[in-house]
Amino acid sequence: MSNELLLKYGCNPNQKPSKIFMGDGSDLPIEVLNGKPGYINFLDAFNSWQLVKELKEATGLPAAASFKHVSPAGAAVAIPMSETLKKIYFVDDLELSPIATAYARARGADRMSSYGDWVALSDPCDKETATLLAREVSDGIIAPDYTPEALEILKTKRKGSYNVVKIDASYVPAPIEHKDVFGITFEQGRNEVKITEEMLQNVVTDNKVFPEDAKRDLLISLITLKYTQSNSVCYAKDGQAIGIGAGQQSRIHCTRLAGNKADIWYLRQHPKVLSLPFKEGIRRPDRDNTIDVYISDEYMDVLQDGAWEAFFTEKPEPFTEQEKKEWLAGFTGVSVGSDAFFPFGDNIERARKSGVQYIAEPGGSIRDDHVISTCNKYGMVMAFTAQRLFHH
């Protein structure tokens, strides 16, 4: 190892020179086993590693994340999947280890956004995870170790250029961090707050019962938000994020964006979507895009112009608005976290439409009473964590 690593360029090709290095002269806590990761790759790698490391510490379960542009597209822990989830994640033909299950869930949350992702694993990458990754479009991976079989598989990806980074799991960063913007150095203490179930004790709604799975999902949501560009809101269910709204200037836009993604996740499980008559040989990214169009209002236009013939053996029946509404009416048990307080009850109203029953947010708005009363109207459970989780 060495204390610096030269990079091809920075965020853009014109931004040279570029490198990562340890300011104190110590060795970097990473080793590049294959490929040549770039500036954005390492931003994704180091943020995603922190996320999965904390997820495992909080839940005791293997964890994985799928990152794009310094925010997670998905994050999950290793909970066995239903046959339906395996099918919509395109892994129903694979043997899955716990860490492979966590990654399949993380990537499955928002497969369109995960296209070309950076992968983070809390546990060593095994053959099963590498086999799954080998057939997905991805830029690279960070993990504490790799089995020989996994490394051999990953080294064949992207014509041998797939980025594989090994991180020292015992590495502890300095308590003070720095960042240069416009030639000016910013300094702050690292955000070392531990997200645990203690954060969920201040329940402010009339309904005060958090089931154990809701507590787990709220921890997943909050830890995910800790490494998501703010403003951000995260919907979670069944041990994984199912909708992440990142980097919006308005809290309601975060809530809508994340809620729309959660709705698509659930609509993908509808029998009409599961039985779409795809032609043999259609690539997974094309299937993802086509399914998204089928679920959206755009599909009526596709039916009319005949574009469906490129993907399907026969013309599928439209997925009507009434059918979607009826299916989404069964969407329940969802948890949602917010990195800062909800300023208005409209966020609760929108979250409810996507099956949200459990909420964790910092509190502290002058309209907290309105937000609480909106939750009470629907029998929701909400805890004030008193901890803002902005990340920039």
Catalytic residues: 68-69, 231, 392
Q: Which of 353, 382, 371, 92 is nearest to 210 (CA)?
A: 382
What is the crossing angle of helices 251-267 and 321-328, to 10°? 100
Residue 54 to residue 195: CA distance in whole angstroms: 8
In sequence order, what are the beta bridge partners of 186? 179
Q: In this structure, how many other beta carbons lie within 10 angstroms of the beta carbon of residue 171?
A: 14
Coil/strand/helix, residue 206: coil
Distance (Å, whole) CA 56 – CA 333: 22
**Interstrand relation of 232-237 and 184-189 (parallel, antiparallel or unpaired):** unpaired
Query: Which residue carries 């089931």 as its tokens?
Result: 211
Beta strands in 182-329 (DSSP E): 184-189, 232-237, 240-246
The CA–CA distances, whole Å, from 96 to 100, 159, 164, 251, 350 equal: 5, 25, 20, 37, 35
C-alpha neighbours within 13 Å on the C-beta side of residue 298: 10
Q: Among 198, 209, 239, which residue's Cα sits nearest to residue 79?
A: 239
Using CA atoms, how far apart are residues 95 and 242, in angstroms rounded to an integer? 23
Q: How many helices (H) and strands (E) does the chain have?
A: 13, 15
SS3 67: strand
Q: Are 200 and 383 in contact (CB under 8 A)?
A: yes
The radius of gyration of the chain's CA atoms, rounded to the nearest angstrom, is: 21
35 with 140: CB under 8 angstroms? yes
Strands 381-384 and 356-361: parallel
